Chain A
């Protein structure tokens, strides 16, 4: 494709997107106005079903199929990252002994803060997942907190501990199981109000999101820290005197 054709294609797509977007926003209620047609209906439905958190009612009840689609998208993204960032055969993965990842010489204050914040952040993540049906938050938010919290160990300079904390195969399995559990939970009672299932759905989403993000970041960490490109014939590689 020539650059000219590429620009033309982009201009076509951008113009179409702009037109559709403008058309879509023309009929929206004004910003900050008193008229909220969708919110009124959504809140009324949530109250009618007895769901305390109207947002949870929207995501798991009134827009359950959207949420299902988003879950699948996240699963697909994590699987794609795992597949794309796998260690190729022609790449060498450095063995642990060939170079040292830590504990790196980070300042003591950073190390201390990292180790102190880790349990706190994990607790906050679990809390956000567990109370998602009653307060702001839920599976996705809590899952994001959980998935990023473990990487405080990396900030604290202790990459080996991080590797021990998250065995990637276990997280792969857990993510698949959680995604399947969510699909089953969401489809099992189609047409019924999700009120009673919201905590379980939140839990499944939390596990899935947390595992997906940990996997994603884990693969990126492997690429950034461990994988070496294939050695040039002359042989200046990272392994000096290593005979595995």
Chain B
């Protein structure tokens, strides 16, 4: 019934991982990771520009992955790092870029229609960002998404 190789799981009274998760050092790590996660979450909320917020969100995903790793859930940590650090911010950035392009071309005052190559998208993003700030004042950045 049980395989003949050691599985690494001791019988129930002393499951693996209890020792690694207790003690002052482990407590310090867990507390630090939790504090870092809270800090990054606050930073995400307090970041007002959406493009920048996506980048901070990526950092938050990384910190969450670190927390899961410290809490000894490597599977969850891998999923979190993949989805929260790469996929979600990338989708947010792409969606923002699409809405911005739509707004620029729809209103006709965009700078990068007219067949201008928009290969360097990061530059476009930052440029659109600053333009928004000078023009719109304090208006929320992602408002174009609603239209």
Measured CB to CB, the residues of A under 8 A from B are 32, 34, 36, 39-40, 43-44, 46-48, 50, 52, 54-55, 98-106, 128, 136-138, 140-141, 144-145, 147-148, 151, 157, 159, 213, 216-217, 220-221, 223-225, 227-229, 232, 234, 236-240
Contact = CB atoms under 8 A, between A and B. Distances in A.
B97 interface: yes
Interface stretch (B41-49, B88-96, B132-140): B88-96
B85 to A, nearest CB: 9
Interface in B74-124: 74-75, 78-79, 82-83, 86-87, 90-91, 94-95, 97-98, 101-102, 105-106, 108, 113-121
Contact of A99 (B94, B97, B98, B118): B118
Given A32-B21, A224-B95, A144 B87 contact: yes
A98 B79 contact: no
A98 B115 contact: yes
Interface of B: 1-3, 5, 7, 9, 12, 15, 18, 21-22, 30, 74-75, 78-79, 82-83, 86-87, 90-91, 94-95, 97-98, 101-102, 105-106, 108, 113-121
A47 B2 contact: yes
Contact of A157 (B5, B74, B119): B119
Contact of B78 (A54, A137, A224): A137
Contacts of A147: 87
A114 B131 CA distance: 30
B24 to A, nearest CB: 12
A98 B95 CA distance: 22
Contacts of B2: 47-48, 50
Contact of A220 (B91, B108, B114, B117): B91
B35 to A, nearest CB: 15
Contacts of A55: 75
B113 A148 contact: no
A136 B78 contact: yes
B94 A223 contact: yes
A236 B114 contact: yes
A54 B105 CA distance: 53
A224 B75 contact: no
Nearest to B122: A106
A144 B97 contact: no
Contacts of B30: 32
A51 B124 CA distance: 51
Q: Which 6 A-B pairs have the closest CB atoms?
A: A104-B119, A144-B82, A136-B74, A141-B78, A220-B94, A100-B117
B90 A151 contact: yes
Contacts of A48: 1-2
Given A43-B9, A105-B119, A141 B82 contact: yes
Contacts of B78: 128, 136-137, 141, 144-145
A47 B9 contact: yes
A236 B113 contact: yes
